[in-house]
Structure 1
């Protein structure tokens, strides 16, 4: 039985991944490629976000989870629905129109955008089906549709959110050093951070737990390892709407 799609509603997924070795915030993109049926002229050759139309039986969240799983094999990731994109001109470039005609979907498609956070090493990108590839956030290739706009808006939202919630720990190993956290914040925000102030502020957080362990396999002096406690964080920030009298 063929699943029924909603032809003008889709989800697009901005998959952010942090490369701890290169200290780089990246976006996972897939190849969009089309040759003419007559001859071998290349009609479309660029990259896009992973996304697809919503099925009739699905919620938006279910659709985004399905799309992400098809590309990465992962489901249990930090996810945020951050905006809907519905400009009448969002799919009107020449290459977009060629692609739309070939794939037989509506030029007036509304997309609901999500972003996800993971570690780059958690995803194998060898699939020939999607030709997925990681790109640094500041070195994006030629993109189809309005996907550069979607990525940049997701990135701005991520920068704001990482300053108010501990979502950055979704991008780090379970055990990390203070320098690992600082490198990540600098990569996301694109700024240099004063090491001493950052270290002092971080280790004073009750939800940052010092472990009785140090780095192994490093040539320099091994650094102290820490963990983020989600349980402690949630207990500290549980909303209480009761009025104390």
Structure 2
């Protein structure tokens, strides 16, 4: 027997991905398109976050995990539930009302928002049936519902979280350079970091492991590669992870 939907409770997922080549923190959104059946007039043409209603037999975490897997095929990614959005007017924009009527769900829906961290290259956009697309967090397209607000609040939460926990390594390859870590911090926080000071502080962390390897396939002098050790971090963890950047 197929589980029932809870029509006024949903989960929306902000999927953050970092692009090493462009040094850009991006958000994965899906195309929302609707045209009239008779005149073929375009009624809705924008983007939204991936999300869905909660099934009666699911926890909220279950729903978020399912939604991400259906969009990307990925499981086991870092996720955080960060806020509920329940403004009574959050779905009442005229364009959104058209979409709601067509989708047959409740106008007074409360959504529980999560964000996920992953690498942009992990998502196959060419074969994605939802027409998913990455956009820089500072250059978002036109978004439906209150999804711009949800993204911006997720981004603010991520900024604080990345200074207290080592979650940025979820956005980096397993092996990385110090410059790549610095670029990522700068992209998330929107600041310029002193290179020498940052390098010294980072390589002195016991959980940043220097490898006997260097970059390959680069035109300039290859840089030293490092790894983040979760095992070591858990042993030396103190309340404040902050690198003092």
Alignment TM-score > 0.5, same fold: yes
Residue of structure 2 equivalent to 1:99: 99
Q: Which residue of 2 aligns with 1:43?
A: 43
Answering whether residue 201 of structure 2 is matched by residue 201 of structure 1, we say yes
Q: Which moved more, 1:207-216 or 1:46-55?
A: 207-216
Please give the residue correspondences for 1:17-166 in structure 2 after superposition, counting only pairs within 5 Å. Answer: 17-127=17-127, 129-166=129-166
1:238, CA displacement in angstroms? Answer: 7.1
State the partner residue of 1:215. 215
Q: Deviations over 1:158-208 (max 9, x none)?
A: 000001111000000111110010011111111111001100110010100
TM norm structure 1: 0.95
Give the total of aligned pairs: 239
How far the C-alpha of 1:2 sits from its partner, in A, is: 3.5
**1:116-141 CA-partner distances (Å, limit 9, x unpaired):** 00000000012352010000001100
TM-superposed deviation, 1:39: 1.0
* TM-score, normalisation: structure 2: 0.95
Summarize deviations over 1:93-150 as a string: whole Å, max 9, x none.
Answer: 0011000011110000000000000000000012352010000001100000000000
CA distance in 2, matches of 1:3, 1:127: 28
Work out whether residues 71 and 128 of structure 2, in 8 Å CA contact, stay in contact via their aligned partners in 1: no
Runs of 4+ in 1 over 3 A off after TM superposition: none
Q: 2:129, 2:174 → 1: CA distance?
A: 31
Q: Is residue 15–residue 28 contact of structure 2 (8 Å, CA) maintained in 1?
A: yes
